[in-house]
């Protein structure tokens, strides 16, 4: 389960053959189940020891503990709908004294609540894996930062449809997180907040880590962190009309991943538009 991507450990390495879509699907199933009831979650994942919800923002998360494999898995639910996407875009950055970086203030508030609830239940001798979708993916990334600062051993993590959580300085500080972001080419949320919505004091938001982009059928493309920075200059507002809201939902991600389980083929990023399913 921990042989994820050579590129997660070395950004200059893009070994497409190392992308294991069965493993991507392992994470995706958890991110999708986070939207379901406690009963459904425990039925699907019997190692679940906690299903909880943040008191004010109604973010559900669950914790699995696997003592045999010496690991613990945290999964965080995203937003049930996208009605607040403009609100997410317009959140200002605030400095987090624990992390020493500027972060999305709304995401960080939810992260800290989950961090406080989970840390008494976590085992520092076990590998910690974190995953989520949408808002849950953003919280998962920030939670990985918190856990790293506390000395937890982080295992390879994959999240889905994640908005950006910090600026360039924050992305540089935490560039070594063992994180792979999965995004659908037609999903607009990973572009939030857009680079043309600038915080004049702290700089534009920027993604952390490599990105696996899902295209139509068996096709996908992969970008290192450096490539993501370069290609992230497209205007969110210019592309908003071309993006599909449906492409953001977790059921769409599951479907697109399933198409790649038997056979998957990497294509160059600059040729991706040939393989996009509209």
Separation between Cα atoms, residue 198 and residue 205, nearest integer Å: 8
Find the range with the poorest average confidence among 91-105, 107-121, 135-149, 231-245.
231-245
263 compared with 86, residue with greater pLDDT: 263
Q: What is the largest CA-CA distance in the chain?
A: 50
pLDDT score, position 57: 82
Confidence of residue 168 (pLDDT cuts 50, 70, 90): confident
**Alpha helix positions (H), 57-130:** 85-89, 105-118
pTM, two decimals, is 0.87
**Alpha helix positions (H), 104-249:** 105-118, 135-149, 168-173, 225-231, 236-239
Find the range with the poorest average confidence among 3-7, 26-30, 198-202.
3-7
Q: What is the pLDDT of residues 191-230, one digit of tens each?
A: 777 665 445 566 777 889 899 999 999 999 998 865 665 5
**Alpha carbon 163 to chain centroid distance?**
8
Average pLDDT, the chain: 83
Find the range with the poorest average confidence among 19-23, 148-152, 197-201.
197-201
Find the range with the poorest average confidence among 27-41, 107-121, 188-202.
188-202
Q: What is the pLDDT of residues 76-110, one digit of tens each?
A: 998 765 554 544 555 667 888 898 888 887 888 89
State how beta strands 60-66 and 71-76 pair.
Answer: antiparallel
What residue ranges define each of the domains in the chain, with the CATH number in brackets? 6-275 (3.40.50.1820)
Selection from 134, 128, 121 nearest residue 147 by Cα:
128
pLDDT score, position 248: 86
**Alpha helix positions (H), 52-162:** 85-89, 105-118, 135-149
Helices and strands: H and E segment counts in the chain: 10, 13
Provide mean pLDDT across the span 113-141: 96
Separation between Cα atoms, residue 256 and residue 259, nearest integer Å: 5
């Amino acid at each position: 389960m921990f042989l994820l991507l050579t590129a997660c450990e070395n950004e200059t390495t893009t070994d497409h053959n190392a992308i294991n879509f069965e493993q991507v699907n392992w994470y995706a199933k958890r991110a999708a189940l986070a939207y379901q009831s406690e009963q459904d979650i425990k039925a699907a994942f019997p190692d679940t020891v906690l299903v909880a919800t943040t008191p004010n923002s109604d973010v559900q998360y669950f914790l699995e503990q696997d003592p045999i494999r010496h690991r613990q898995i945290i999964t965080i639910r995203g937003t049930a709908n996208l009605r607040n996407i403009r609100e997410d875009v317009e959140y200002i950055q605030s400095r987090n004294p624990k992390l020493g970086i500027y972060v999305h203030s709304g995401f960080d508030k939810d992260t800290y609540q989950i961090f406080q609830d989970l840390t008494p239940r976590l085992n520092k001798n076990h590998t910690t894996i974190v995953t989520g979708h949408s808002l849950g993916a953003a919280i998962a990334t920030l939670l990985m930062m918190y856990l790293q600062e506390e000395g937890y051993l982080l295992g390879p993590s994959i999240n889905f449809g994640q908005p950006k959580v910090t600026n360039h300085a924050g992305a540089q500080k935490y560039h070594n997180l063992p994180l792979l972001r999965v995004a659908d080419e037609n999903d607009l949320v990973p572009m939030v907040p857009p680079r043309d919505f600038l915080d004049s004091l702290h700089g534009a938001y920027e993604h952390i880590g490599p990105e696996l982009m899902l295209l139509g059928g068996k096709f996908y493309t992969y970008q290192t962190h450096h490539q993501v920075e370069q290609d992230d200059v497209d205007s969110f507002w210019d592309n908003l009309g071309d993006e599909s809201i449906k492409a953001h939902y977790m059921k769409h991600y599951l479907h697109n991943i399933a198409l790649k389980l038997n056979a998957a083929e990497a294509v160059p990023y600059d040729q991706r538009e040939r393989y996009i399913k509209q």
